[in-house]
Chain A
Amino acid sequence: MDRSFDILHFAFLSFQSSVVTRVNVAFGVALVSMLMCHPVLAQSSPQSVTDLVAKDHPNDVGTTLDVSWSLSPDDDPDADPPAVSTYHILRKREGDAEFTKVGEVPLQSTSFTDKNVERKQAYLYQVVAVGPGGESAAVTTTEAATPVMEWFRTDRGWLAVFVLLICTAVTTFIVIAKSGRELYIRNIPGLEAVDEAVGRATEMGRACLFVPGIQDINDIQTVAGITVLSRVASLTAEYGARLEVPTARSLVMTTARETVEASYLAEGRPDAYRKDDIYYLTDEQFGYAAAVTGTITREKPAACFYMGTFYAESLLLAETANGVGAIQVAGTAEPAQLPFFVAACDYTLIGEEFFAASAYLSGEPIQLGSLRGQDVGKLLVAALVLIGCGVATWGSVAANTELVGGEMAASLMSFLQDNVLGSKGFLP
C-alpha cells in the first residue's frame, strides 16, 4: 500500500510540474499514461483457486482434516506487487448457514491442515484468494469431509516392527525364566559385594550406612536405590547388623522406613527394626553432606552404600568413609560422579547396572525376563548403529573412489534415514 501511495504521489507531482513547465507536457502525458497502465493502479480482484478438496488426515485420532487446492492463476510470486497475498480458509459444519474463517496461508500455498475439528462431524470448506485488489470469489468444496480416527498409524510401520521385536523378546524371556530355565545374567560384583560389606560391618561390630542420594522419591535413581536398600536391609536383619539411613527428603525417609521394615519382617526379625535409624536431615545439599560426613567420622561405619542421585557431595562422602576404612558400594547414573565413586569406593554400579539391580537381586522371572528382553532391544539398536556407520562409510568412500556399490550404499542409507531411523521408525 505504501509503495502504491508513493507512486501516486510521484505521479501527481509530475503532473503538477508539467502544467507549470510546458516544455515537459508531452513527457507528462506519456508518464501518466504509463502509470495508469500499472496493475496496481488498475487493481482488480484475483481469480479463485481451483480443484478445492477437503479430506480426512490419515493416521490420526480423527481431529484433523486436510484441505488442498490448485493455486489461483493470479498467484505469481514474481509479480510486483503480487496479485494474491494470502489464501483465507473458511469452514462450516455441514448444515450450517455461514462459513467462519479458520486460518490463512501465504501465497503459493496449496494446502491447509485444520487440526481443530470434531471427530465424525462433516465439514465444508471455502478458500478465498486475497490480494491488493480485493478477494476472489469463494470456492467451496463439493463434498463434505469427515474426520475419522485410524486404529493404526501405517506411517510408523518400522517403529511397530521394533516394538514388536522387543516385546516378543521380553515375553519370550519371561516365559523362559518362568519355565525354570536359568537365564544368564552377568555377574555384577558391586551387588555381590553387598553381602561382603554387611558381613564386614557385622564382624567389626559397626553400623552399615545407606545414603539414598539427594533427590526426592520421584527420581528414578532414588527408586532404584530403595530397591538396593531392601536387599541391604534383608542382610542386616539376617546378620544382626545395625543399619542407618540418613535422607535428604522427607518422602524418601518414609519410603525407606517402610522398605526396611518390610525387609526385617520378611527375614523374621521385626524386633531388630529400629525406626529411628532411618531419619531425615535436610533438603539442603551441603547441609546434608556435612551431616552425613559427621556421622561417618563419629560412628565409623564399616560399610557405606551410596545408591541414588549424587552431585558434588559424592566425593566428600566417599573420601570420608574411605578414610575410616569402610567398604563402600556406590551406584548412580550420574556420569559426572562415576569417576569419583570408582576411585574412592570398593565397588561401583554404573548406570544400567544400577537399574538392573532390582532384577539381579530379586531373581524374579518377570524382572529377569524384562531385563534380558531390554538387552535384546539395546543389541538391536547397537546393531543398527553399526550397520548405519558401515553403510555411511562405504557410501562416502565409494563416492570418492572407484569402490563398487556406492549407489547401493547411498540408497540403503537414504532408506535407513527415511524409514528405520526417520519419521517411520524411531524418530517422531
Chain B
Amino acid sequence: MTKLNPDQINVILATDCGSTTTKAILIQKIDGQYRQTFRGEAPTTVEQPVADVTVGVVNAATEVGELAGRRLVDESGKIIRPAKPASDGQPPEGCDIYISTSSAGGGLQMLVTGVVREMTAASAKRAALGAGAIVMDTIASNDRRKPHEQIQRIRELRPDMILMAGGTDGGTVEHVVQIAELIAPAKPQPRFGSGYRMPVIYAGNKEAAKYVDETFDESVELTVVENIRPVLERENLGPARDQIHDVFLEHVMAHAPGYDKLIDWTDAPIMPTPGAVGDILQEIAKARGINVVGVDIGGATTDMFSVFDGPDGEPVFNRTVSANLGMSYSISNVCAEAGMPSVLRWVHFDMDERELRNRVKNKMIRPTTIPQTLEALVFEQAVSREALRLAYIQHREFATTLKGVQQQRTVGDTFAQQKSGQSIVDNMKLDLMVASGGVLSHAPRMEQTASMLIDAFEPEGITELAKDSIFMMPHLGVLASVHPQAALEVFEKDCLIYLGTCVAAKGRSKPGKRCFTYEITGSTLNERGEMSFGEVRLFPLGLGETARIVVEPARGFDLGNGPGKRVEREVRGGTVGLILDARGRPLIPPEDRAECRRTVKEWSESLKLYEG
C-alpha cells in the first residue's frame, strides 16, 4: 500500500462489498472541499459462478466512472491510480486512493470466550463487536453450560476466528486454561479455507499465555496480544481490535474468493463494514465533542452504535448487533418479541390482527417486497418502531460501565448505593442520532423517518436527527483512517441528511396540562407558545437554517438543565424541521385501543406523516 500525502489526495474511490451489492462512491476535492460526487453499484460476485469479489468492484467502479465521465478502470480490469486530469481530449482518469470495506459472505463471524460472562467475556464481546464482527456465541465459566455442551457448541460453530480473554494480569490461570481445554479438543473449523488453521487471538491474563499455548496443537494459529482487562478497573480493547482487523485481512479475507487481489488494490486495510461505521461515528463524536447514536436496521439484524461519555469523561464506543430484530427475515421475531398489541399501538387506524399476521409472514418469505398500500406502509413502520425500540433496549443493557470494580463510598451514600454496570447510554445527553437501513432511509417522507426515530429511541432534551443518505458511513469509516479531514467533510456535507431537531421534555403529566413554553427566534422562524402534555408539533426550519429556542419547562419536566429549569439553545433545521415533543418520557401511547388510535392519528397529523 502506497502512502500518500493527504494534501495530494483529490480523488477517492471507495467501495463497500456487501452480501448482495457492491456500492462504489467517488469523492472529489471541489473548490478546496471534499464532496461525494457520484455513486454506482453492481451485484457482489463472491459466490459462484464468478467467485471473485473484484469483478463486482470493477463493475461498480465502472458505473461510477461512466457517471463521472472519468475512466477509473483500465483495460486489464484494474483501478487506475494516481488520478490524472483531462488532457488531449481524453477524459480525466483514475483516483488517488482506493479504499474498501467488506461484509460479503456474512461479514466477520467470531466466537469469544472469557472467564466471567459479565466481566472479561463482556470485554471480549465489546472488542469483537467494536471491530465489526458478529459474535456467534460467548463461552464463559459461568454461562451455566456443562463442559460437554460448551464443546458441542464450539464444534457446531464455524467462526472466522476466536477471541480468548479471561483473568486480570496476575489473576486466574486455571479458568483460562480450562476454556482453552474446551476449544482444543473441539477443533473448530474455520468458515473459509478448509486447509488453514483456526486463528485464535489470546487477550487474557499474560501469565496464562504459555499454558494456553501449550494446550493448543498445530490446528490453531495462536496470537497473543495485551490483556483486554489488565485490571478489572480498566478495559484495553485497542490491541485486541487491531489484531482482529489484522487477522481478518490475513486469514479471513485472504481465503475469501478474490479478496487477495482486492487487498493488493486497496490503499488502506479492508475493514469489516460495521467496524468502519463505528469508526466514522467515533470520529464525528470526537471532532464535534458530542454523544452520538447510530442505527442500521436491516432485514435480518439491527446494528446499533453509540458514543457516550464514560464515567471518567472519556468517550466510550459501543456496538451491538441484535441478531433477531430486522424488517424482513426477522420480522416475525420482532412481532413475537414485542407482541402484536405493542406494534398496533403505532397504527392510527383499525387493523385486523389476522390480516396483520399474514402481512408479517409475507414479508418474511418475500423479504424484498416493499409496501404497496398506505396500510402496509404504516404497519411496516410500526414494526420498525418496535424493532428499533427492542434493539435499543439491548444496546443500553450492553453499553454499561465496567463490572467488578471496587466502589468508593461515603456515609452519605447509605440510602443511595448505586450498583456498578449502569448503562452509559443517556438519552438526555444524546446530541445526534443517525439513521440508516431500508425502512428508515427509504421512507417516502422524511417526516416518517424522524417520527420512527423519535418514537423508538425516545430522545430527551434537544437532539439532532439525521439519516445516512446512501449508506456512505462504511466508506467514510475507512477513509477516516487515511484522511480524517476528508471523511468529516463528506460526512457533514453529503453523507448526512439532517432531518431537523427534536426538543422533547422528560417527565409525565395529565393530558392537557402545561408541559413547557417555548420561544423560537430565527431568520425564517419566529414563534412562541405553549405545549400541553400529549402534544407534538412540527415547525418548518429548512436545511442549513438555524434558530434559537428558549424553553421553560413546567414543574416536573426536564429538558436537560434539570426539572423545571430553563433551556436556551441553538437548533439546526433540516428536511423535516423543528419538532417540539410534549408527549412525555417515557413515551406511552394510551392503552385503550380506540383512544390510542385517536391519539396516534393526532400525532401523525401534527407531524404530517401521511399527508397527500
Contacts and interface: CB of A to CB of B under 8 A. Distances in A.
Contact of B118 (A196, A206, A326, A327): A196
B421 A196 contact: yes
B414 A196 contact: no
B397 to A, nearest CB: 14
Contacts of B406: 325-327, 346
Contacts of A77: none
B31 interface: no
Interface in B139-188: 141-142, 144, 166-168, 170-175, 178
A202 B229 CA distance: 13
B381 to A, nearest CB: 32
Contacts of B407: 327, 346-347
A202 B141 contact: yes
A238 interface: yes
A200 B410 contact: no
Interface stretch (A81-89, A337-345, A371-379): A337-345
B404 interface: yes
B3 interface: no
Nearest to B420: A196
A178 B170 CA distance: 47
A68 B154 CA distance: 91
A195 B118 contact: yes
Nearest to A326: B406
A203 B167 contact: yes
Interface in A360-414: none
A190 interface: yes
Contact of A204 (B178, B232, B409, B417): B232
B141 A239 contact: yes
A203 B167 CA distance: 4
Given A189-B418, A196-B420, A346 B404 contact: no
Nearest to B114: A203
Contact of B414 (A187, A206, A348): A348
Interface string B408-426: 0111011101111100000
A51 to B, nearest CB: 63
A334 interface: no
A157 interface: no
Contact of A203 (B116, B144, B421): B116
Interface string A160-181: 0000000000000000000000
Interface in A288-334: 325-327
A202 B417 contact: no
A321 B448 CA distance: 57
A343 B175 CA distance: 33
A205 B174 contact: yes
B404 A196 contact: yes
B429 interface: no
**Which DSSP category, helix, strand, loop or mixed, fits chain B's interface?**
loop
A239 B407 CA distance: 22
A203 to B, nearest CB: 5
Contact of B171 (A204, A327, A339, A348): A204
Nearest to A197: B404
A205 B167 contact: yes
B115 interface: yes
Task: Find the residue from B166, B403, B418, B419 having the highest chain A CB count within 10 A.
Answer: B419
Nearest to A192: B419
B476 to A, nearest CB: 38
Interface string B170-212: 1111110010000000000000000000000000010000000
A202 B115 contact: yes
Contacts of A348: 414, 417
Given A189-B419, A196-B421, A203 B229 contact: yes
B579 interface: no
Interface majority SS (helix, strand, loop, mixed), chain A: helix
Interface in B358-414: 403-404, 406-407, 409-411, 413-414
Nearest to A195: B118
Interface residues of B, number: 36
A326 B276 CA distance: 39
Contacts of A199: 116, 118-119, 142, 403-404
A240 B141 contact: yes
B318 interface: no
Contacts of B415: 350
B120 interface: yes
Contacts of B167: 203-205
Among A187, A193, A196, A350, residue most surrounded by chain B Cβ atoms (within 10 Å)? A196
A238 B116 CA distance: 10
Given A199-B118, A348-B414, A238 B142 contact: yes
Contacts of A200: 119, 232, 404
Contact of B173 (A190, A193, A205, A325): A205
Contacts of A346: 406-407, 409
A342 B118 contact: no
Nearest to A343: B411
Given A196-B403, A240-B175, A203 B417 contact: no
Contacts of A203: 115-116, 119-120, 166-168, 171-172, 229, 232, 404
Contacts of A326: 406
B117 to A, nearest CB: 8
A195 B419 CA distance: 11
A326 B409 CA distance: 14
A307 B413 CA distance: 19
Contacts of B229: 203
A339 B403 CA distance: 25
A331 to B, nearest CB: 12
A42 to B, nearest CB: 79
Given A343-B409, A346-B406, A202 B414 contact: no
Contacts of A193: 419-420
A204 B233 CA distance: 12
Nearest to B233: A325
A142 to B, nearest CB: 68
A244 B559 CA distance: 50
Interface string A115-156: 000000000000000000000000000000000000000000
A342 B142 contact: no
B177 to A, nearest CB: 11
B338 to A, nearest CB: 19
A272 to B, nearest CB: 12
Contacts of A327: 404, 406-407
A425 B426 CA distance: 51
A240 B176 CA distance: 12
Contact of B411 (A187, A239, A342): A342
A270 to B, nearest CB: 15
B411 A339 contact: yes
Interface string B115-133: 1101110000000000000
A206 B170 CA distance: 10
A342 B404 CA distance: 18
Contacts of B118: 195-196, 199
A192 B422 CA distance: 13
A48 to B, nearest CB: 70
A189 B174 contact: no
Given A203-B232, A203-B404, A204-B171, A190 B144 contact: no
A192 B419 CA distance: 8
A205 B166 CA distance: 11
A339 B404 CA distance: 23
A192 B420 CA distance: 10
Nearest to B413: A342
A193 B174 CA distance: 24
Interface in B410-447: 410-411, 413-415, 417-421
CB-based closest 6 A-B pairs: A205-B172, A189-B419, A199-B116, A200-B404, A346-B407, A204-B171
18 contacts: A190-B417, A192-B419, A196-B118, A196-B403, A196-B420, A199-B116, A202-B115, A203-B115, A203-B116, A203-B166, A204-B170, A205-B172, A205-B174, A205-B205, A343-B411, A346-B406, A346-B409, A347-B407
Given A200-B119, A339-B414, A342-B413, 4 more contacts: A202-B115, A203-B166, A339-B411, A350-B414
